Amino acid sequence: MTDQATADLWPGERTGERPEAARRLLLAAVDSFARRGYHATTTRDIATAAGMSPAALYIHYPSKAALLSEISRTGHQATLNLVEHAARSDSDPVAQMRLLVEDFTAWHARGHTVGRIVNHELHALPDEDFEVVAELRRRIEETVKAVIDTGVASGAFDVPDVRTAARAVTSLGIDVSRWYTDRSSETPEELGRRYGILVLRMLGATG
Amino acid sequence: MTDQATADLWPGERTGERPEAARRLLLAAVDSFARRGYHATTTRDIATAAGMSPAALYIHYPSKAALLSEISRTGHQATLNLVEHAARSDSDPVAQMRLLVEDFTAWHARGHTVGRIVNHELHALPDEDFEVVAELRRRIEETVKAVIDTGVASGAFDVPDVRTAARAVTSLGIDVSRWYTDRSSETPEELGRRYGILVLRMLGATG
């Protein structure tokens, strides 16, 4: 069953860009990887879940790894986009960081299924694709670090070690996809707001 | 290759308690699950890694799931022990929380291999074993929450939502096992100290 956050990663209505069959394969791959783990999933499992033959899968993706790579790239690009958007949203680093944590947290709660795959199956990526994803991860980390640096420079934040603090901020958000379930008592947005408050305190935000 | 933290979970020198062959199987299972993922690992892979036949494995463990269950129980019990130890270590909730985060973080850094299995393969546990592990997880969470509650009552902490704060504390520590590698620039102990400072700020610790 595809959740909304996963479906949103590959919108069906954008005509022309991606054949509907490729989209169905991506959603089926997310579902199969989440259910069985990447290594134990076969291309036949994915094709069957998408209502297609293995031969039809290969028209769109040469391998299971190619599907994982596209899922991982798309998921990382989506989180990089929202982090960069938050960093540009306001001139005040406190407001930037609040929005960043709220959106990053809520994304990993809503998209916990795809978030788990994207963050826990990195080692399974082919080397070249791993490098692409590693670069997206570095940019996420660097953007978070830049917001903290700006806040430290302006006196809005007081942080003994910026790199560790940036790591803690992204880690808190990413780990939401491990523990969050659709039965969790907080909505993704509530959790985002609460985490926003906790992180600002962690960064010694004043005012 | 077995890291020290994993080896420490099943000390070889405790005579009588556990046959050496069972210990070798547990260490081989940790290694195999980490390398290939739980689902793609066969009992033959584990037996081979332990230098044994599949038949010899079955003398000690009826299934791959039984090995995962013992690994998961032992790992969770070890972290519960250190969390409970920290909660008893001092009468001051600030000192309790500092030690708790330092030890919990350092454990997940040193034991990142077993920490990943213990936290990411929960869904693969047989129902009964899952219940045992879920109870250990509840006790970890409850112990963290109790330390925060005590601090809030004494005025040492100022926390808007204790349950979310407790979740954030354990989540930060657990996620260390996802991203920490032996090439990380901070030692487990350094990371523990830095996380201790960040968490105390998050909890609004005074003084």
What are the C-alpha distances in Å from B128 to residues B64, B71, B86? Answer: 15, 15, 29
pLDDT at A5: 81
Min CA distance, A20 vs chain B (Å)? 30
Mind listing the domains of chain B with CATH numbers?
4-62 (1.10.10.60), 65-202 (1.10.357.10)
Interval A173-200 mean pLDDT: 95
Min CA distance, B14 vs chain A (Å)? 35
Give the mean pLDDT of chain B: 93
* Structure confidence at residue B178 as a pLDDT band (50, 70, 90): very high
Q: Do B175 and A172 touch (CB under 8 A)?
A: yes
* Structure confidence at residue B5 as a pLDDT band (50, 70, 90): confident
Which of A36, A105, A187, A201 to mutate to test binding with chain B, by most B CBs within 10 Å of its CB? A201
Q: Do B120 and A119 touch (CB under 8 A)?
A: no
Residue in B174, B191, B202 nearest the CB of A198: B202
Interval B74-78 mean pLDDT: 96
pLDDT at A185: 87
Could you tell me if A93 and A146 are in contact, meaning their C-beta atoms sit under 8 angstroms apart? no
Q: Do B165 and A198 touch (CB under 8 A)?
A: yes
Please, where are the H alpha helices in chain A? Answer: 4-9, 20-36, 43-49, 54-60, 64-88, 93-110, 112-120, 127-154, 162-179, 188-202
Contacts of residue B144 in chain A, CB cutoff 8 Å? none
pLDDT at A1 > cutoff 80? no
Report the chain B residue with the minimal C-alpha distance to residue A198. B202
In sequence order, what are the residues at sequence separation of 6 or more whose Cβ sits closer than 8 angstroms to the Cβ of residue A55? none
DSSP class of residue B156 equals S
Report the chain A residue with the minimal C-alpha distance to residue B204. A201
Min CA distance, A13 vs chain B (Å)? 34
Min CA distance, B156 vs chain A (Å)? 15
What ipTM was reported for this prediction?
0.91
Which of B175, B177, B194, B206 to mutate to test binding with chain A, by most A CBs within 10 Å of its CB? B175
pLDDT at B151: 97
Q: Do A120 and B120 touch (CB under 8 A)?
A: yes
pLDDT at B143 > cutoff 90? yes
Contacts of residue B188 in chain A, CB cutoff 8 Å? none
Residue in B37, B195, B203 nearest the CB of A40: B37
- Using alpha carbons, select from B6, B197, B192, B194 the residue that is nearest to residue B102: B192
Q: How far apart are the first and last CA of chain B?
A: 44
* Structure confidence at residue B15 as a pLDDT band (50, 70, 90): low
* Structure confidence at residue A3 as a pLDDT band (50, 70, 90): confident
Report the chain B residue with the minimal C-alpha distance to residue A42. B40
In the A/B pair of chains, how many CB contacts fall below 8 A?
77
For A139-154, the pLDDT digits (tens) are 999 999 999 999 999 9
In sequence order, what are the residues at sequence separation of 6 or more whose Cβ sits closer than 8 angstroms to the Cβ of residue A22? A60, A61
